[in-house]
Structure 1
């Protein structure tokens, strides 16, 4: 049985987490021009943001196609609501 170096595994996991945070800041600053929501909620920053990045990667790789369609559809509904609210 092979020995698993948990120190190495933890280092990789922490590295992925940090890179995800950096990518989120760059993405929001460059493409959206506004601060990420993680600055408003620490729980979201620590748990939901990396999960979001993971699912986006899975979607890009072609996994969970039906879930992606459902999420995209729900996002469209929410965007329409926001646009209608801004128009008021």
Structure 2
């Protein structure tokens, strides 16, 4: 599976997310985990000396730091995967980065890390409960950390676009992906049966 193969990455991630309640939980909690992580990244040093960009006179700033760098990586990755939905995801990433910078600056580090910690614990607990109770399968993050952290937010966006607007990256995408998902789930079930014996 190639890093930029949308079909394979989507199918691999979707194989871990088939239960509608678990998918709904992910729709609610996945983007907030990314957003709150960005709040903490606001406090990393600038990548370029004197790089603050003033957004509001005397108000909040965004800084070209590791938060910006991570946002740029995610945004480019999503656009490469699918130009249309990826552009929307990139826009959401940059809006999230700006919002997290504003929030980080207004909270200050001593309060921000506590807010981030509480929200991360809440969100990750909800995501793990979704897998344990409804999906009955461990999260994808345990099997492929990089793919799960890159694909999670985009998977959620694609699911929302599909369920609300019938969006497909290209005609026949979901039919092709379903075949791959079924094959991955069958392989997982076969491996589980083999372990039982």
> TM-score w.r.t. structure 2 length?
0.30
Contact 1:59 1:68 in 2 (8 A): no
Of 151, 156, 162, which residue of structure 2 is paired with 1:53?
Answer: 156
Contact 1:25 1:36 in 2 (8 A): yes
Larger radius of gyration: 2
Of 61, 69, 74, which residue of structure 1 is paired with 2:177?
Answer: 74
Equivalences, count: 80
| Distance in 1 between residues matched to 2:178 and 2:125, nearest whole Å | 24
CA drift at 1:21: 5.3
Runs of 5+ unmatched residues, structure 2: 1-54, 63-96, 104-115, 191-197
CA drift at 1:29: 1.8
Aligned to 2:68: none
Deviations 1:6-35 (A, max 9, x none): 576125xx8xxx587555433322222110
Runs of 5+ unmatched residues, structure 1: none
- Residue 121 (structure 2) pairs with residue 28 (structure 1): no
| Distance in 2 between residues matched to 1:71 and 1:20, nearest whole Å | 28
Aligned to 1:37: 140
Structure with more contact order per residue of length (Cα contacts < 8 Å, sep ≥ 6): 2
Supply the RMSD in Å over aligned alpha carbons. Answer: 3.8
Contact 1:20 1:50 in 2 (8 A): no
